Amino acid sequence: MAAYASVPAIIPKPAFYQETGDRLYAATLTLDGDSFFLPQLRALRDEIITAFGETVLSPLSSAEEFAYFEQQTHDETPLWGANFRRDAAPTIALHIHQVDERSWVEQARMHGSELADGVGAVVWGAYLLTISPSGIEMVIPRTAGRNTMVESAAAAFATLMQLLHLGWDGWRFKLPVCTIVDRPALAWRGLMIDSARHFVPVPELKKILSMAWLYKLNRFHWHLTDDQGWRLELVTLPEATGSGSTRPGGDPNRNGYYTQEEVRDIVAFAGDRGITVIPELDLPGHVQAILAGHPEFACTPGPHYVRTEWGISEDVLCMGNPAALNFALKAWDEVCELFPGPYVHIGGDEVPTTRWESCPKCAAKKAELGLTDWIDLHGYFVATIAEHLSKKGKIVFGWDEVLDSSIPNLANVVHWRAWIPEQSTKALSQGRWLVRSPYFPYYLDFVQTDDRSISPGLAYRNPDAASLRRIYEYDPFEEIEPDIPESVSGTETAQCSASGREAYLEGVPEQDAGQGRALENASLDRSGRFLGIQANAWTEYIRDGRRLEYMLFPRLLALAETAWNGRTRSSYEDFLRRLEAGHCGSSRGIFAQRGINFCPLYKD
Where in the sequence numbering do the catalytic residues fall?
350
Print burial letters for 298-316: b (CB count within 10 Å at least 16), e (below 16). Answer: bbeeeebbbbeeeeebebb
CB 336 within 8 A of CB 393: no
Helix (H) or strand (E) holding 32: strand 28-33
Give strand ranges (E) for 297-372.
343-347
Q: Residue 378 forms beta bridges with which residues? A: none
Backbone φ, ψ for residue 330 (5° rounding): -65, -40
Q: How far apart are CA 312 and CA 315, in angstroms?
A: 9
CA distance 356 to 366: 9
**Among candidate residues 384, 555, 598, 560, the one with its CA nearest the CA of residue 476:** 560
Burial class from Cβ neighbours inside 10 Å (0-12, 13-18, 19+) for residue 361 reads middle
Helix (H) or strand (E) holding 93: strand 91-100
Cβ pair 155, 565 in contact under 8 A: no
Cα(475)–Cα(20) distance, integer angstroms:
34
Q: How far is CA 10 from CA 161, 200, 214, 290, in A?
A: 10, 29, 10, 45
In contact, 398 and 348? CB cutoff 8 Å: yes
Q: Which strand (E) or helix (H) includes residue 363?
A: helix 360-369
Please state the separation of Cα 185 from the chain's center in Å: 15
Q: What angle do CA 85, 91, 92 make, to 5 degrees?
A: 140
Please tell me the distance from the alpha carbon of residue 255 to that of residue 231, in angstroms, as a whole number: 9
Tell me how crowded residue 422 is: count the other CB atoms within 10 A of its CB.
Answer: 12
**What HEC string does 186-238 produce?**
CCEEEEEEECCCCCCCHHHHHHHHHHHHHCCCCEEEEECEECCEECECCCCCC
Bin 297: left if φ > 0, else alpha if -120 < ψ < 50, else beta.
alpha
The H or E element containing residue 435 is strand 434-436
